[in-house]
Structure 1
Amino acid sequence: MNKLISLFILSLLVINVFGKIGGKRVLVLLDEEQVKSTHSDFFDGLTKKGYELDFQKTDSKVQLQKYEDFLYDHLIILSVENDPTLTTNEILAFIDGGNNVIIAGSSIISETIRDVASDCGIEIEEDKTAVYDNFNFDKSQNDHSLLLADGLIKDSPIIVNNVKLPILFRGIGHKIRDNVLNYGILTASATAYSGKQSTKAAGKLQGKRVGLVSSLQARNNARVTFSGSLELLSNENLRNTKVSNKEFVEQLTSWTLQERGILRASDLSIVKVNPTSTDNNSSSTILLTVKDDIQYSLKIEEFQNGQWVPFVGKLQLEIICLDPYIRTFIQGNKQGLYQSTIQLPDVYGVFTFEGTVKVPGYGNLQSLVRHPIRPFRHDSYERFIPSAYPYYAASFSMIIGTFIFSIIFLLHRDSTKPTTSN
């Protein structure tokens, strides 16, 4: 019975935070109906994966949630010249609910989309501007705004990987904020610049700081991707075998819709390494004592190709009571199991065992469990401490001295006779 109670308490104290998967309901907002035909390959790819696409005009009245329940899992907005009926707060609330958004625009961006992008760390250039490059452009069309971009993100291969050919891009640029939550998925080359379409004069945004496609992964694992080019997703570019638009769009879309890079934790275990005879089952699982040697174990998996597979990386473990008393890193094995033997601090209280994984491109994983760490029992302390021997000697010497003095005082007789007066 004690063991069952302990396991029940442990289940109440464990908190696992990871991304959600499985949502297939997609709302697609379009300015023009013809986009459905010019970008049919992009939509067909989503349909083949089981996504349920609901096409609506941007000026039609739609709802993202009803009675505090979201009606869709993902939102795709293409060609955003007109303000959608959805407000900025509604879209941001959709993101705050853990849902994903894909936005692709052109040379004119509506104020609502600009506000959403700004809140997501993306500062879009002024309307009727474009990104130009006098060196890295499609020379077959002699158009300096039709870029051959190859500035792919390097530090997160989980987002886009194995894209060898350049990517055809024509559209508006943006600046991405210096934030750990933002990723510059595709940036321009060092010779590129953002300028007005009328004069083609260079503006302040130049070089590799010009963002072409950027993403945000929020702390709740919601993902938002903004592309300054609607042509990036068109059938013409996706079918062009001289560029890698198809591979790039497929990988970026699957990552944004949380088909990859999602982590989950399970099988959390915290046990004493050498339980004593006084430790019963419940105390070895729940009740810990200062300076105990414990074994921390956690299994982590990632969602890949429609199934959960072991995740091999590093787990940061912190043992916290107001401040971290222990911070260490645990390397996982091929089975995705993270184990380490740790000695608890010489401080008692309620401690939080916090295991976190933060890898660029992967969802944030946080596994929390709270354990009380108790002090030693009164009979667990050492009886005689070597450093206290002088105090022991002083105490016993006082006892012996008092005993000798008492014997002498009680047994001593005065040998002189008292004097008497006549």
Structure 2
Amino acid sequence: MSKLLIFLTLIPLLPFLCSSFSAENPTDRRILVLLDDFAIKSSHSLYFKSLQSRGFDLEFKLADDPKIGLHRYGQYLYDGLILFSPTIERFGGSIDLAAIVDFVDSGHDLIIAADTNASDLIREIATECGVDFDEDPAAMVIDHTGYAVSAVEGDHTLIASDDFIKSDVILGSKQLEAPVLFQGIGHSLNPSNSLVLKALSASASAYSANPKSKLTAPPSLTGSAISLVSIVQARNNARILISGSLNMFSNRFFRSGVQKAGSPTKHEKSGNEQFLIEVSKWVFHERGHLKAVSVRHHKVEEEDEPAVYRINDDLKYSVEIYEWSGTSWGPYVADDVQVQFYMMSPYVLKTLSTDKTGLYFTSFKVPDVYGVFQFKVEYQKLGYTSLSLSKQIPVRPYKHNEYERFIPAAYPYYGAAFSMMAGFFLFTVVHLYNK
């Protein structure tokens, strides 16, 4: 009777239980925002509202709050972290440089906004992510050609940049028409880190220096080597955004008109809002997130997956790949997904065909080599999470009773054997009966 009561109690909850165990959602929803001052919450409210309107749960804390922490009892409390605290010298609570690095190493995402007064701690975090800010604490990015036209000429530190990364998956399919306003410090990419990319670059005429003093030596950062906004996708698919300007996220820059020096076009609204919203969609896995399911292989004439293959067997391999659209999983369509049949080195390398509904497939013959092989798919593409699939399978030689009775390639040996027997028979007859 008690079991029946429990069952009747759970019936109204079944729809909720089923929905909670639906398709896996890769999008980060719980985000901790660390601020230098709570005034940033209102001065940058448009950016925060854009995140909240897409379903993100933002928790705002002062960066030096003694009660803050990223995990509790071995479990992370947040899926993403936004650092809008460029001046912080030391975080409160249990957060420090090592905690943030571990946070990213655990597959979580990070946004860092620095500024001209960036602290050593923020610089160290950026260095761990593969970028190096200008060592001069008073340096700013200056561009006497690509500056933003304004009523006050100023020192040309307010830049209008339109040198975006060429990637629809990162910036969206809608073209960015208006330049992005930037005012802050520049950084360079660590050449030993192949995972960091420039999302927004300075022009060839830009340089990094103190705008309030005369240049006494050539600047260390010049031209398009200066990155204004960089992105990183770690090998564990964690994503990072690093900006040298906190102001570019502000309401003032979002709403401001922009006209780039030398251009006759004046845009009523800068490209900051569109650029940063699109990049944040990528950072928080609303776009460019792939998953692979239903990895299958079998012989051509069979449907069940065998425990072992024989050399020269004909087999089929298939895998389903889907992309997260921000709300649901949809088929991923590409023509560059490859599978390797691998043992120490690839014996077979095949490009997978697709039916454009998410299914990728191919067929090939098992090589005439026996041993332990692997089906391997290593897929890495700009802006997409990497896929690394492997499935091990042994390959055996023919059994003694599986060979053909007479092998055509061995006919010369058969002829030699039979000719030897015939010759021996003739020699015996001649030797015995010759008088």
Given the two structures, how large is their TM-score scaled by the length of structure 2? 0.84
Alignment of 1:372-391 (within 5 A): 372-391=394-413
Q: How does 1:5-404 map to 2 (within 5 A)?
A: 21-61=26-66, 62-85=68-91, 86-126=95-135, 127-140=137-150, 141-143=152-154, 144-154=156-166, 156-161=167-172, 162-178=175-191, 179-199=193-213, 201=215, 203-240=219-256, 241-274=268-301, 285-313=306-334, 314-404=336-426
CA distance in structure 2 between the aligned counterparts of 1:379 and 1:115, rounded to whole angstroms? 67
Distance 1:29 1:271 in 2: 52
Q: Note closer, same or farther for the CA distance 1:96–1:31 as it changes in structure 2 (3 Å cut).
A: same
- CA displacement at 1:403 relative to structure 2: 4.2
What does the per-residue CA deviation read over 1:338-358, in whole Å, with 9 as the maximum and x for residues that have no partner? 111212211111111111321
Structure 1 residues 200 and 145, CA, compared in 2 at 3 Å: closer, same or farther?
Answer: farther
2:341 and 2:73 map into 1 onto residues whose CA distance is 40
Measured against aligned partners, the alpha-carbon deviations of 1:254-300 in whole angstroms (never above 9, x if no partner) come to: 1111111100111222121235xxxxx65x53321112221211111
What amino acid is the match of 2:116?
S
Largest Rg, 1 or 2: 1
Query: Residue 221 of structure 2 aligns to a residue in which SS?
Result: strand
Q: How many aligned residue pairs are there?
A: 388
- Alpha-carbon displacement from aligned partner over 1:52-103 (angstroms, at most 9, x marks no partner): 2221111123221223321111000013112232221111100000000000
Q: Tell me if structure 2 keeps the 8 A contact 1:174–1:212.
A: yes
Greater share of strand: 1
Task: Kindly provide the CA deviation profile for residues 189-208 of structure 1, in whole angstroms up to 9, marking residues without a partner as x.
Answer: 11111111331636121111
SS in 2 for 1:291: coil
Give structure 1 stretches of 5+ with no counterpart. 1-18, 276-280, 416-422
Q: CA deviation at 1:331?
A: 4.2
Task: Name the CA distance, whole Å, in 1 between partners of 2:237 and 2:295.
Answer: 22
Q: Which moved more, 1:235-244 or 1:143-152?
A: 235-244
Shift of residue 329 of structure 1? 2.1
- The whole-number CA distance in structure 2 between the counterparts of 1:263 and 1:245 is 27
Between the aligned partners of 2:77 and 2:400, the Cα distance in structure 1 is: 60
Where do 5+ consecutive residues of structure 2 fail to align?
A: 1-23, 257-267
Name the stretch that deviates more: 197-206 or 110-119.
Answer: 197-206
The one-letter amino acid of 2:326's match is: N
Structure 1: distance between partners of 2:198 and 2:338: 26
Cα offset for 1:252? 0.8
Question: Is the Cα contact below 8 Å between 1:42 and 1:234 reproduced in 2?
Answer: yes
| Shift in Å, 1:135 | 1.4
What's the offset of the Cα at 1:158? 0.7
Q: Please tell me whether the aligned partners of residues 221 and 364 of structure 1 are also in contact (alpha carbons under 8 angstroms).
A: yes
Q: Percent identity?
A: 37
Give the Cα separation in 1 of the matches to 2:188 and 2:35: 25
Aligned AA for 1:94?
Answer: F
- d(CA) in 2 for partners of 1:344, 1:238: 58
Q: Secondary structure at the match of 1:253?
A: helix
